[in-house]
Amino acid sequence: MRFKLFFTHLSSSTMPTLILFNKPYGVLSQFRSDDNNNFATLSDYFSDKSLRVAGRLDATSEGLLLLTADGQVNKALTHPPKANAGKQQGKTYWIQVEGDASDAQLQQLQTGVPLKDGITLPAEVVRLSETQIAEHIWQAPDKIAKRKVTTWLAITIFEGKNRQVRRMAAHVGLPCLRLIRMASSGFSLGNLEVGASTQIPLSPADLKRLGVQPLSAATTTPKSPQSKHPTSRRKQP
């Protein structure tokens, strides 16, 4: 109860904030460039270098990227306390895989598959309809491989092994052609346009769910991040 009372006196301007960014294909989840490739970086979209990424995406993956200048929030998102881990910190990906996924393959993904760094935890996996894809997913980048027969799956995982979803799909014989993160730790992409971002204040309920301890107003006032692209919630055509 003391936790709730502390926050009732804080205005939204003193609360930590979170940036939701719809990362395009071909953008690194970092501000510095990489001499080994020609990928764009977050510096092409944000000028505030105090922002830190909470959960990276490969350059060839798309979708929700979370950024914050608050150290406690970043830590809670990347290394959640045990009491706040599990389903509260799940990450949902929509993936397009090669071939017609069978019930047996989906069952393998749901149960857990053995990878080099251990068996994965049980995941939530469902097939997606053409209608769902048409309503929520933008046109594929030109460099995405084209196949005649593909299946779209929604997969939610509750851990963070390196390139986990791609490796899980490959292990059961479903090479991943396209991967889009739709939601992470209770925050969703919604209709945020590709390459656009939006800044949201974290509510007391958000902080409690993430396991972030109350901070004084002096330490919670964030540096206002500046986006190089206008915020938009329109879907990319």
Catalytic residues: 58
Q: Are 225 and 19 in contact (CB under 8 A)?
A: yes
Could you give the residue ranges of the DSSP H alpha helices within 79-188? 103-111, 130-136, 164-171
Helices 164-171 and 103-111, axial angle in degrees (round to 10): 140
| Structure token pair of residue 127 | 């097939």
By three-state DSSP, how is residue 7 classified?
helix
How many CB atoms lie under 10 A from the CB of residue 80? 18
How many CB atoms lie under 10 A from the CB of residue 165? 22
Element (H, E) at 85: none
Name which of 138, 142, 168 is nearest 153 in CA terms: 168
How many CB atoms lie under 10 A from the CB of residue 198? 16
